[in-house]
Amino acid sequence: MLKRVALWVMYDGTAFSGYQVQPGKRTVQLEVEKALRTLHKGTDVRVHASGRTDTGVHARGQVLHFDSPLMIPTERWPKAINSCLPEDVRIIEASYVQADFHSRYAAVKKEYRYRVFTPKHPDVWRRNTTFHFPYSIDFERVKKAASYLLGTHDFSSFCASNTDVQDKVRTLYELEVCKQGDEIVFRLVGSGFLYNMVRIIVGTLLEVGIGKRVPDELATILEAEDRTKAGKTAPGNGLFLWKVSYEYEIFSDEF
Amino acid sequence: MLKRVALWVMYDGTAFSGYQVQPGKRTVQLEVEKALRTLHKGTDVRVHASGRTDTGVHARGQVLHFDSPLMIPTERWPKAINSCLPEDVRIIEASYVQADFHSRYAAVKKEYRYRVFTPKHPDVWRRNTTFHFPYSIDFERVKKAASYLLGTHDFSSFCASNTDVQDKVRTLYELEVCKQGDEIVFRLVGSGFLYNMVRIIVGTLLEVGIGKRVPDELATILEAEDRTKAGKTAPGNGLFLWKVSYEYEIFSDEF
């Protein structure tokens, strides 16, 4: 009898060519499936994620699921899998879920965060987890610009052109910008995100912040439904998949 | 005419076998001397540091010096050297100093910091910059124990046994322990530090913090002048050489 297991996974994306398996590349999926194969004595176990992440992108709250015949108590799963994983991926919690649960299709909300490091001098310890953007940023302008993006819109202007997704309408529930120490952190909560959407939004808002664009331009960019109207794609290293929400809480710890 | 240049250097120690050149190893000194050799068109330039750091140990404020015939304005040195350095070492500032300045012998005070990460779950992004010690720590006990170490003492009990230093008397001016978010940070300022001294002090104080030792034991450990009486050496990855002070300020920025 197979039981479905959901995993809360954290990873440092620096040394990965993204989440998804690609021939000859070190990916998160590859490492997790390798660990599960070891635990299942050589049997392949296919893992499904809430979504992919690109090269260098991090995850604090990625959710995966897989089916297993092993009778391991919930609280033992993380330790068992972690013992077979490299240090840059950690399973924080596991949970048995219903047989029809799907980490991707059942997701109702996703939160991403994006960290920008603004001091003049670089910080060697944060070079892989923040975007170093050493300019003076006008906070109020960024907030004003951000407000245009809230709600339900066609986000074509904020989607990488190389995508085959047809429906580009998404709902952005929250878009907060706040100072945390010497960083500026963007927090975006939405129904779902298009390819590169967070990074293009952040890149465009930063251009507003340094005076390269006026806040009201965001309305025009959205309406244009044209990627070339928005700003640059901010680099992947500042991006974190922070949390994936489902209709009910899957994990017991504060996720 | 040679002029002496002092450098304020920051490095992420994770991928280095420490500061000092060792055959076949990747060290900070090797990388800096390589960069200077490039800038000096193939001529070897010997670099001197305020002190070594071990494998995995970081530096926020390492100070180096070297002599050069190049007539480069102060403010251009960092950019010039950084363009030849890997991303995990950065020159923050340069300064022309007197010909008899010595980064090591002229140092009058050093500050080290040690970061301890106490939550149950590991944090993949801080695995190389904090010591993961997921136990409940009694702060007041640690502070009480730390107070015995302040002042001038023979620190033999807190010195790795494989050292040839004869005089083990040092002065500890400050030893602060404070909470910073979900971390405990130790801050030590002293006249100088013996080999592994900070790491043995932190290891011992943590043993007091979890109740393995009583605070008053620190007095006995000091008196014993015997390394075996103190606690474990805390790992190198939590340690930062924070600042080196000289009789006068060498750098203009807040160092």
Domain boundary pick from B55, B74, B106:
B106
B132 and B73 within one domain: no
Closest Cα to residue A247, out of A98, A125, A114, A41? A98
Instruction: Write out pLDDT tens, residues A130-144.
Output: 999 999 999 999 999
How does residue A121 score in pLDDT terms, banded at 50, 70 and 90?
Answer: confident
Residue B112 annotated as lining a ligand binding site? yes
**Residues of A marked as catalytic:** 54
A133 part of a folded domain: yes
Residue given tokens 């200077």 in the structure block: B36
Domain boundary pick from A52, A86, A106:
A106
A167 part of a folded domain: yes
Total number of domains in chain A: 2
Torsion of CA B230, B234, B235, B241, to 10 degrees: -100
Q: Enumerate the residues of chain A whose CB falls inside 8 A of the CB of residue B12.
A: 124-125, 127
Domain boundary pick from A76, A106, A136:
A106
B119 and B76 within one domain: no
Mean pLDDT of chain A: 96
Per the structure, the complete domain to which residue A55 belongs is given by: 3-106
Tokens describing residue B66: 């070297």
Residue given tokens 């890149």 in the structure block: A203
Instruction: Write out pLDDT tens, residues A24-59.
Output: 999 999 999 999 999 999 999 999 999 999 999 999
CB contact under 8 A, B122 and A11: no
Q: Enumerate the residues of chain A whose CB falls inside 8 A of the CB of residue B90.
A: 121-122, 124
A252 part of a folded domain: no
B236 and B204 within one domain: yes
Per-residue pLDDT, A44: 97
Instruction: Write out pLDDT tens, residues A224-233.
Output: 999 999 999 9
How does residue A188 score in pLDDT terms, banded at 50, 70 and 90?
Answer: very high
Once rounded to an integer, what is the mean pLDDT over residues A154-168?
91
Residue given tokens 């923050």 in the structure block: B92
B220 and B161 within one domain: yes
Is B11 in CB contact (< 8 Å) with chain A? yes
How many helices and strands, by DSSP H and E, does chain B display? 5, 10
A27 and A77 within one domain: yes
Q: Which residue has the higher pLDDT, B166 or A17?
A: A17
Rounded to whole angstroms, how far apart are CA atoms B44 and B22? 16
B253 part of a folded domain: no
Tokens describing residue B207: 């043993």
End-to-end, the C-alpha distance of chain B in Å comes to 29
Extract the residue ranges of chain B whose pLDDT is less than 50: none
B71 part of a folded domain: yes
What DSSP designation does B212 have? S
* Shortest Cα distance, chain B CAs vs residue A75, angstroms: 13
Percent of chain A with pLDDT over 70: 99
Per-residue pLDDT, A255: 55
CB contact under 8 A, B87 and A127: yes
B247 part of a folded domain: no
B94 and B192 within one domain: no
B157 and B73 within one domain: no
* Shortest Cα distance, chain A CAs vs residue B127, angstroms: 8
Residue B166: other Cβ atoms inside 10 A: 5
Per-residue pLDDT, B163: 80
Per-residue pLDDT, B9: 98
Q: What is the CATH number of the domain that holds B71?
A: 3.30.70.580
A237 and A113 within one domain: yes
Once rounded to an integer, what is the mean pLDDT over residues A54-65?
97
A88 and A120 within one domain: no
B78 and B19 within one domain: yes
